[in-house]
């Protein structure tokens, strides 16, 4: 099984993590939400599989192209 890193497209603050580690996910499922410019921007999964680990927590500040999770595809 391959590990796929899920990356943010924008910098901001993690405001929601709707899934927990171990969850089964599909391509396009929202793994996290980043608050930037008073908007909540979803971070979708780019693969189907199992959410192996979350690399961030609520209120963490993230940069553009930062890994937020690892999916075991």
Nearest-CA neighbor of 50 among 21, 28, 15?
A: 21
Instruction: Locate the domains of the chain by residue range.
Output: 3-72
Q: Per CATH, which fold does 3-72 belong to? A: OB fold (Dihydrolipoamide Acetyltransferase, E2P) (2.40.50)
CB-neighbour burial class of residue 31 (10 A; exposed 0-12, middle 13-18, buried 19+): buried
Rounded to an integer, the average pLDDT of 39-44 is: 97
Count of alpha carbons within 13 angstroms of residue 43, beta-carbon side: 34
Quote the mean pLDDT of the chain.
Answer: 96
CA 21 from chain centre, in angstroms, equals 11
Does 1 have pLDDT greater than 90? no
Quote the pLDDT of residue 10: 96
Q: How far apart are CA 34 and CA 16, in angstroms?
A: 7
What are the pLDDT digits (tens) for 12-34? 999 999 999 999 999 999 999 99
């Amino acid at each position: 099984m391959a590990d796929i890193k899920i990356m943010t497209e924008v910098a901001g603050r993690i405001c929601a993590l709707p899934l927990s580690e171990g969850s089964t996910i599909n391509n396009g499922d929202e793994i996290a939400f980043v608050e930037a410019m008073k908007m909540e921007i979803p971070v979708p999964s780019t693969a189907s599989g199992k959410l192996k680990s979350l690399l961030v927590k609520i209120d963490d500040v993230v940069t553009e192209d930062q890994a937020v999770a690892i999916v075991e595809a």
